[in-house]
A and B are shown apart, each in its own frame.
Chain A
Amino acid sequence: MLFQNLTRSSGARRVGAVAALTLSVALIATGCASTETPGETGGDANLAITFVPKNLGNAYFDTSDKGGADAIAEFGGTYDEQAPAEGSPDGQVSFINTLTQQQVGGLVVSANDPTAICDALNEARESGIKVVTFDSDTDAECRDIFINQATGEGIAKIQVDLIAEQIGDEGEIAILSATANATNQNAWIELIKADLAANHPNIKLVDVVYGDDDDQTSFDKTAALLQTYPNLKGIISPTTVGIAAAARYLQTSDFKGKVALTGLGTPNQMRDYVTDGTVTAFALWNPADLGYLAAYAAKALIEGDITGAEGDEFDGGKLGKYTVGENGTVLLGDPYTFNADNIADFNF
């Protein structure tokens, strides 16, 4: 009995060991079969440019990276995209390290943490790789150029312009913001107030309410606003959660078509409301252009046309000429207005 048990257990283990080995071989083989190492493209400049967004499977970055791929195809470089599945700084560092080893020509990164990925980016730069950040910047000393999607002034102005146009430049409006202490939101609200006072004397901002970037709270606050201010003609919601919740409320209420709504939203959230006329137009930047410009900036850096110093000029393909501003920042341009005519072109 003892003997039999022995043979069984060691035999079974041998089966286990062989199975594990076979599996690993199979995995490695399949893993490597379909791959090409980026880098080492033809010509003297290494135009292998890899996008490292915050994470994969994110429609926003799918759109921006597609824009980057288009730009890279135009100037004949090699496009690749690598990112962690979840948006974590350590995951991003692993990929940046890997790309440094592979010696790609340029990295286009949206940072999960402004400081945590700094060392990895600087190691990449020391080995000659050019680093462009977009969407979310790192500390300025860790990259060559940051492509800024929009300025606070631009964001405030477009929302004021849209609401003024939609309500005929006079009447009461309110703002549905995110949280009361959100830095971005408060900065934009101050700029909106300044713009209203300076350029739209007949528009009166009656209230600022906070939906805490929570769908239900924003929904309820919209209802309360409309009850409290019967003469309200428009709502600005500079947050994607807020504008979608407010639109959902308006869509099923008597106020649909009577109270204008605009702000910052994403096409996928707002598609229904724009199609059925609840919302005429809203703003955001165009992520495809953002990725496109970032790719051209990487190209200009790799080819040595620019170094990222203030005043450097480079060609942004179909977007025209761009100039590097303070702290190596390049501004994409004015925010983009989405309406019934163009919303079908976007999927993010």
Chain B
Amino acid sequence: MTSSNTATMAVARNYKDYGSALWKRIILTREGAVFAALILVIIIASVTVKHFAAPITATYLLLDIAPILLIALPMTLVIITGEIDLSVASTAALASVTLGTLHQAGMPLELAALVAIIVGALAGALNGFLITVVGLPSLAVTIGTLALYRGLAVGFLGTTAVTDFTEFWKDLAKSKIGGSAIPSVVILIAVLAVAFAILLHFTQFGRGIYAIGLSPEAARFSGVRVERTKFILFVMSGSVSALAGIFYTLRFSSARGDNQTGLELSVIAAVLLGGVSIFGGRGALHGVLAGVLLIGTLGSALRLASVTSDVINIITGTLLVASVVSTSVLAWIRSKRSRPGGKKPETAAATKS
């Protein structure tokens, strides 16, 4: 999912993108820059950081970022519509607690997990209802449900934890594919990533998502069902968050109300780093996946280099700010140059080359 996606992406942006050579359109994009940075971090870390170039690094890294990778998929779509979902980590915790409580009460794990996903979908549906039907801003709604779902999750189990889960599923959550270093959960992520990529980049529904992000009014007049699209996205966000919560619970054999506190910020940070505009209308799924991997790999390399967590936070924070600032600065320069009545086109072209 590289070349074809980027090409489709261009549909949602501007026809001018077709004017440059194909390789330029693939490599010299925001997503390309993130990929390049990722590869660079991997190469530098492999050479300079002891123990980094071992297969086990990939195992730990992928297990650690699996919940972020999962939730980032629907989050990308939500942010491209210009909305945001801050309640994802709380939804994951609510699903985790649902799974734990029901399993403890004797329900088979498979059924409890299904109920947990339904709870997640309902949590997302409530967000979607308040945003699309009642018409409240998603920022306000999901800040509210962030507290609400977390409160429910903590209220259910209090300070206790459910730690007894079926061995098979616990082992599966931690298992690797065959004899490789890749955790099995990557298969789930890959399947969902492909599904979301097709949905976003190759369907009418997906083009509607970009249209809403660029201009909800225009999208509506062009026949995009704005409310329905957003509602579906929030339900997806809730369901996938629940799935991530279930994975987390099984990996750590621990269902607690305070599971994954603060994860929503890691997810949103990675999505933005991956080139999705917080104002909507812009972004691609492969960039987001690279963004999550970049933050994860950087953290993993720095940890192995015995950098303390405070410094790691400072470095990843700086990286995020820099990436957002660089986009804004570039956009500002571009808009300044193309402003009507600005510099004469000839001058601009001359300075450019």
Contacts and interface: CB of A to CB of B under 8 A. Distances in A.
Most buried by A among B253, B306, B310: B306
A11 B334 CA distance: 10
Contact of B345 (A1, A16, A36, A93): A1
A89 to B, nearest CB: 6
Contacts of B56: 101
B16 A5 contact: yes
Contact of A35 (B36, B163, B305): B305
Contacts, number: 178
Given A23-B322, A27-B318, A86-B262, A37 B305 contact: yes
Interface string B289-320: 00000000011111111111111010100110
A58 to B, nearest CB: 12
B309 A82 contact: yes
Interface stretch (B37-45, B139-147, B175-183, B203-211): B37-45
B254 interface: yes
A32 interface: yes
Nearest to A30: B315
B64 A4 contact: no
A37 B28 contact: no
Interface in B163-181: 163, 174
A21 B348 contact: no
Contacts of B349: 3-4, 7
Contacts of A9: 16-17, 334
B30 A57 contact: no
Interface residues of B, number: 70
Contacts of B188: none
Contacts of A83: 309
B29 A13 contact: yes
Contacts of B330: 12-13, 15-16
Contact of B254 (A8, A81, A116): A116
A277 to B, nearest CB: 37
A185 to B, nearest CB: 13
Interface in B239-282: 248, 252-254, 256, 260-262
A171 interface: no
Contact of A37 (B50, B261, B337): B50
B183 to A, nearest CB: 12
A25 interface: yes
A101 B53 CA distance: 11
A115 interface: yes
Determine chain B's interface SS by DSSP, over half rule: helix
Interface of A is mostly: helix
B30 A16 contact: yes
Nearest to A29: B44
B44 A28 contact: yes
B24 interface: yes
B37 A24 contact: yes
B262 A6 contact: no
A8 B352 contact: yes
Given A13-B30, A21-B33, A82-B306, A88 B298 contact: no
B294 to A, nearest CB: 8
Q: What's the interface size class on A, roughly? A: 35 or more
Given A4-B352, A85-B313, A31 B307 contact: yes
Contact of A94 (B29, B64, B334): B64
B319 A113 contact: no
B28 A21 contact: no
A322 interface: no
B57 interface: yes
Contact of A102 (B33, B36, B304): B304
A16 B33 contact: yes
A339 B257 CA distance: 39
Nearest to B248: A90
Given A31-B301, A31-B315, A119 B174 contact: yes
A80 interface: yes
Contacts of B163: 114-115
B286 to A, nearest CB: 15
Contact of B19 (A2, A13, A94): A2
B73 to A, nearest CB: 19
A90 B252 contact: yes
A16 B54 contact: no
Given A9-B334, A12-B330, A86 B254 contact: no
Contacts of B304: 37, 98, 101-102
A97 interface: yes
Contact of A101 (B29, B54, B348): B54
A20 B323 contact: yes
Given A31-B302, A83-B309, A114-B163, 16 more contacts: A8-B334, A16-B326, A16-B330, A17-B27, A23-B319, A24-B40, A25-B40, A28-B44, A28-B45, A85-B309, A86-B262, A90-B248, A98-B300, A116-B253, A117-B252, A119-B252
19 contacts: A6-B20, A7-B349, A12-B334, A17-B32, A17-B33, A19-B326, A24-B37, A24-B40, A25-B44, A27-B315, A37-B51, A56-B309, A81-B308, A82-B306, A90-B252, A101-B54, A114-B161, A115-B163, A118-B253
The 7 closest A-B pairs by CB, nearest first: A116-B252, A17-B33, A116-B254, A115-B163, A20-B33, A98-B303, A6-B19
Interface of B: 16-17, 19-20, 24, 27-30, 32-34, 36-37, 40-41, 44-45, 48-51, 54, 56-57, 60, 64, 161, 163, 174, 248, 252-254, 256, 260-262, 298-311, 313, 315, 318-319, 322-323, 326-327, 330, 333-334, 337-338, 345, 348-349, 352-353
